[in-house]
Every structure is written in C-alpha cells, then in structure tokens.
Amino acid sequence: MSESSVQNILIIGANSAIAKALARRHARKGDTLYLLARDGDALEQQKQDLLLRGAAEIHTDRLDVNDAVARSECLDKAWQTLGHIDTALLCHGTLPDQQAIAHDWEQIHREIETNALSTLAILCHLAPRFREQSQGCIAVISSVAGDRGRKSNYVYGAAKSMVSRYLEGLRGELLPAGVHVLDIRPGFVDTPMTAEFDKGLLWSKPQRIAAIIDRAISRRRDVVYAPGFWRPIMLIIRCIPEFLFKRLNL
C-alpha cells in the first residue's frame, strides 16, 4: 500500500485525546476511519468533525474494551466493513490513583484488564488477520511508565510493561509477513487522563504526540518514545540500580 493512497484506519479508544488528534491527521489525508469507543454521542460528534476535515468515510461503533463478546463482534464487523486495515491504533487506557487502589484486588484487576488484558485480547484478534493480509501496522499506546515499576504508579506501569513485552514478541512473529508492530511510549501528555496534574516543562500536547506517532508509523519504527527526549530519560531511569531506585520518590 503506497503512502499516498487512501488508507483504512481502525482506532480503538477513539475518544481519547491522543486518538482524536491522530484521527484528525488521517481525516486531512482523506483516509477512511473506523472508530470504536464507549461513548456513542462523542463518537457521532467526532464523525461529523472528521468528515468536515476531509475523511473519505467514517464508521463508528460503541465498544467497551472489557466486554469480550462485544470486542469480538465489533472487530469482526470492522474487518467485514473495511475489507483490509492498513493501520490499527490501540489508544484506550485508564490511569488509576495508585494509593487509592493499593491492595484492593478488584480495582487492581480492573485496571490490569483495561490497560493490558483487553489490549492483548484485541491483539490476539488482529494479529492473524494482519498476517493473512501480509501488510499493515498495529500501533499500540503503551507508556514510559512500563519501563520501570515506580512506587507511585506500579499497577498502571505493570500493565503497560506487559503490553510492551507482548508487542516485542508479536513484532518478531509478524515480521516475516511484513506487518509492522509499533510500541508507542508517551511521557506526560496533557489529556483528560492527566487533567488533575500540575503541568510543567516535560508535558506535551496530544497533537505533538500524534505527529510523532504518524512519523513513527511511516518510518516503520519498533518503539517510539514521545516526545523523543523521553528515550534518554528512561535510559537513565532504567540504569538506576534497584537498591537506590527503591528509595527514590518517583
């Protein structure tokens, strides 16, 4: 598939701020988008906005990623409608308050389900179909939080780490079929997920992250830190020895 031709793009968690910024970029290129998200009204609003911005076609469907039956039905319907998918973008996620959920297994389980297990289940569905079509990109938003288990955020971090490790293996499996698997690791992004946080120098807008993701897809990168300055930051953080790391207030 040439870069200039109209592409079929599937976005899961399509009402996320980063997903919306990505969808707008694809709309401007005249692509066809298939949007899956929980909030039907927000999807409809986004659909109208994307059509005005130049999208060829917009399809929408409601999906809670933790609903196994709906997940499978929605994804089947997306393949039937689109025929082939050039890029699948997995953008859903929740950021729990670590202190509030600490040692509450039901809540921890729910967070792991949303941030990791649902993603793995979706990848299980997508991978054989991408392999069959022998082209395309599966791009998943993980996080820098998955690079190390910080005491302030380790449930979310553990889930994202699971996603990144899974993608690492899947990338090798799908390589012979020519399918690109991208692991996206944003740092701090100013979105509804982080509305409560004080913002500073290390923060980025979702539009900037979307541009980085777009470029990483076209360059067939394996792992992209977004923005790129997070790569050296995380390298340093990964190098901190455990005896010291456990004492840090990170």
Ligand X SMILES: NC(=O)c1ccc[n+]([C@@H]2O[C@H](COP(=O)([O-])OP(=O)(O)OC[C@H]3O[C@@H](n4cnc5c(N)ncnc54)[C@H](OP(=O)(O)O)[C@@H]3O)[C@@H](O)[C@H]2O)c1
Candidate list 9, 10, 11, 18; residue touching ligand X; CB under 6 A: 18
Taking the complex as a whole, how short is the minimal distance between the CB of residue 6 and ligand X, in angstroms?
Answer: 25
Give the integer Cα–Cα distance in Å for 33 and 157: 30
156 labelled catalytic: yes
Nearer to ligand X, 3 or 106 (CB): 106
Binding part of the chain for ligand X, among 49-57, 147-155, 183-191, 214-222 by CB under 6 A, reads 183-191
Give the integer Cα–Cα distance in Å for 136 and 170: 14
Beta-carbon contacts of residue 59 (< 8 Å; ≥ 6 apart): 32, 33, 34, 35, 78, 81, 82
For residues 97-136, which are near ligand X according to CB under 6 A? Answer: 114
Nearer to ligand X, 65 or 217 (CB): 65
Size of the site for ligand X (CB under 6 A): 27
Binding flag, residue 16, ligand X (CB under 6 A): yes
Could you tell me if 118 and 65 are in contact, meaning their C-beta atoms sit under 8 angstroms apart? yes
Give the integer Cα–Cα distance in Å for 26 and 23: 5
Binding flag, residue 40, ligand X (CB under 6 A): no
Give the integer Cα–Cα distance in Å for 156 and 41: 28
In angstroms, the first-to-last Cα distance of the chain is 44
Binding flag, residue 237, ligand X (CB under 6 A): no
Identify the three-state secondary structure at position 89. Answer: strand
Binding part of the chain for ligand X, among 1-9, 44-52, 191-199, 237-245 by CB under 6 A, reads 191-199
Binding flag, residue 172, ligand X (CB under 6 A): no
| Distance (Å) of CA 70 to CA 2, 62, 67, 74, 120 | 32, 9, 5, 6, 15
Amino acid letter, residue 221: R
Binding flag, residue 37, ligand X (CB under 6 A): yes
Bridge partner residues of 51 (DSSP): none
Each residue 131-150 as x (binds ligand X by CB under 6 A) or -, in order, gives ----------x-x-------
Nearest alpha carbon to residue 34 among 7, 52, 16, 67? 7
Residue nearest to ligand X (CB): 93
Nearer to ligand X, 70 or 178 (CB): 70
Binding flag, residue 208, ligand X (CB under 6 A): no
Given the rule CB under 6 A, which residues bind ligand X? 13, 15-18, 37-39, 63-66, 91-94, 114, 141, 143, 186, 188-189, 191-194, 206
